[in-house]
Structure 1
Amino acid sequence: MIRIVIAEGQRMLLDALAAMISLHSDFEIVGKACTGEEALKLVTDVRPDICITDIQLPGMKGLELAERLKGGSCKVVILTALVQVGYFERAIQAGVSAYLSKDSGSEELLKALRSVMSGRRVYTRELLADSAPEENPLTEREKEVLLLVAGGKTTQEIAGVLHLSRGTVRNYISGILEKLRVKNRIEAIIRSKEKGWLEPFPI
């Protein structure tokens, strides 16, 4: 018996998905959640074999949930209707077992779940084709500055870490905002995370 937790923000879809999977005797739905936080607690409490999660959950998103579950015994299956560059790469880094389109049929989903339990990874081909990584426009120094910004450091603190003047740091930040086409530091951090660009760099 394959024990499953499902996380889906829309209650009707959540119930329909659970009902469909429950029709098959080798699956058991052991929990349903409408937010990422609820799903994380459920996985911790009931220890399912698989957590199926929508990528766009209320609160904690599906990718963040996958990252939180990485390294545990629960396999993560992402369902998405989005074709977004950077999402697939981030899912791979989080160690998800399957990355599937919501346009997939029920039989395709069930086959993927069984494949995941046998140790295989399953990715919807259309999502793969549209997930070619977009080149990061930032220089190595700009990446270092943005990483420190994401770590909560002030302009003065960044200047100290990188041995730069505050004016130079401000210039770097202005360049980062322009290249990423965002209005402020928070948007720069969010955009870089979505693209899978905000990774640690040696400082």
Structure 2
Amino acid sequence: MTTVVLADDQEMVRIGFAMILGAAPDIDVVAQASDGVEAVSVIAETRPDVALLDIRMPRIDGIEVCRRITEGGTRAVMVTTFGEPDYVDAALAAGASGFLLKDAGPDLLLAAVRAAATGDALISPALTVDLLARNRRQGRGDAAAAEAIGELTAREREVARCVARGRTNAEIADELVISLGTVKTHLGAITRRLGARNRVEIAAAVWASGEMD
């Protein structure tokens, strides 16, 4: 069971997220917080697997909360109305394991929590493509990315390109007409070959390699 704390200064948002997550058989919302200070306290007390954090909260913002809690083992997923590039960059730099817009929908919310719980990272697809394309324009990325991507099998490269476009595992399975289990197997192999920690780093390597041109 994945335990979750919700932190958002809007009560209706917390209620909505709690209903979505509470309906999932593998997720348990153990506490809620209405500001950053309360979030840090509640997370220290309950030690959840995942914290869903709004970026703009009173007293301490979500990014600062993220910095403080990830050292204790809780993984943070930022959920916000605002998708500005600076917020995305700051959240990832603070150690966030996901970044979602509040209108991303229930499926992505659940996927982000589950990904964070297993040590992976998920960003809303619209933000993923923008972030990685921008990083490539700014010259970021591994200089050996092209060589690393070139060592993947043809099917692994297809899966990696889907990841770079922000596709979820289910979407990759549908697009390539393969099973979810096969997608996960390919992702495991890709992760090992690239030395990536999560799907965001897989996507970054694909963009840096020029594979998406």
Listed one character per residue, the Cα deviations across residues 109-150 of structure 1 (whole Å, up to 9, x for unaligned) are 112211221221111122234444798xxxxxxxxxxxxxxx
Residues in 2 aligned to 1:6 and 1:99: alpha-carbon distance in whole angstroms: 14
Aligned to 2:85: 85
**Rg: which structure is higher?**
1
- Residues 76 and 98, structure 2, Cα contact 8 Å, conserved in 1: yes
2:28 maps to: 28
- Offset of 1:34 from its aligned partner? 0.5
In the TM superposition, what whole-angstrom CA distance separates every residue of 1:158-196 from its partner, at most 9, and x where no partner exists? xxxxxxxxxxxxxxxxxxxxxxxxxxxxxxxxxxxxxxx
Partner SS state of residue 59, structure 1: coil
The residue number in structure 1 matching 2:66 is 66
Q: Which moved more, 1:122-131 or 1:33-42?
A: 122-131
Q: What amino acid sits opposite 1:21 in the alignment?
A: L
* Percent identity over paired residues: 30
Work out whether 1:12 is the aligned partner of 2:12.
yes
Aligned mates of 2:129, 2:111 — CA distance in 1: 21
Distance 2:67 2:82 in 1: 19
Structure 1's consecutive aligned runs of 4 or more residues displaced over 6 angstroms after TM superposition are: none
> How is 1:86-165 mapped onto 2 (pairs within 5 angstroms)?
86-131=86-131, 132=134
Q: TM-score normalized by structure 1?
A: 0.62
Note the C-alpha offset of 1:70.
2.9
1:173-184 aligned within 5 A: none
Offset from partner CA, 1:81-112 (integer Å, 9 cap, x none): 11223211111111111111111110111122
Number of aligned residues: 135
Alignment TM-score, normalising by the size of structure 2: 0.59
Shift of 1:52: 0.4
* Structure with the bigger percentage of helix: 2
Gaps of 5+ in 1: 136-203
Distance 1:74 1:33 in 2: 15
CA RMSD of superposed structures (Å): 1.8
